[in-house]
Amino acid sequence: MGTYVRPDNVRGDGAIVQPDVETERSFIARAFEMRRLAIEQGDQPYGAIVVLNGQIVGESGSRVLLDHDPTGHAEMAAIRDAGRRLKREHLSGAVLYSSSRPCPMCEAAAAWSGISHMVYGRNAERAGRPLLCR
């Protein structure tokens, strides 16, 4: 089960708009790629990306150990990256994809930044592919 920070996926007539599953799989796969890079660099096994209008606007693996920063979670770092790239602090309409369920701090940061919803993979993988939770 995933976390929806805000129901931006509901149309005016009340119908729920479901994102394309294959597109979501490609984005969650990129979050898992960020996870792999974090592990290779000697950090914790987490990765995240921020997507706006179908484009990756922020991405990062965990930076906790590398930056000696207890708030350097992958989700926080990806949100910071998106803000820098877009030159804005509010990410309304963006989606946060994470390799695992974000912690309460990261969920709060996503809500504070205006992220519309989150999609995360489970810690387990089946046949080398991340399992989706929405």
pLDDT tens digit sequence for 59-88? 999 999 999 999 999 999 999 999 999 999
Using pLDDT thresholds of 50, 70 and 90, give the confidence band for residue 7.
very low
Name the residues annotated as catalytic.
Answer: 75
Cα separation, 54 vs 34, whole angstroms: 18
83 SS3 class: helix
Mean pLDDT of the chain: 84
Note the pTM of the prediction, 2 decimals. 0.79
Say how many C-beta atoms besides its own lie within 10 A of residue 103's C-beta: 14
> Does domain 21-133 match CATH 3.40.140.10?
yes
* Model confidence at 44: pLDDT above 90: yes
Cα separation, 98 vs 68, whole angstroms: 21
Say how many C-beta atoms besides its own lie within 10 A of residue 2's C-beta: 13
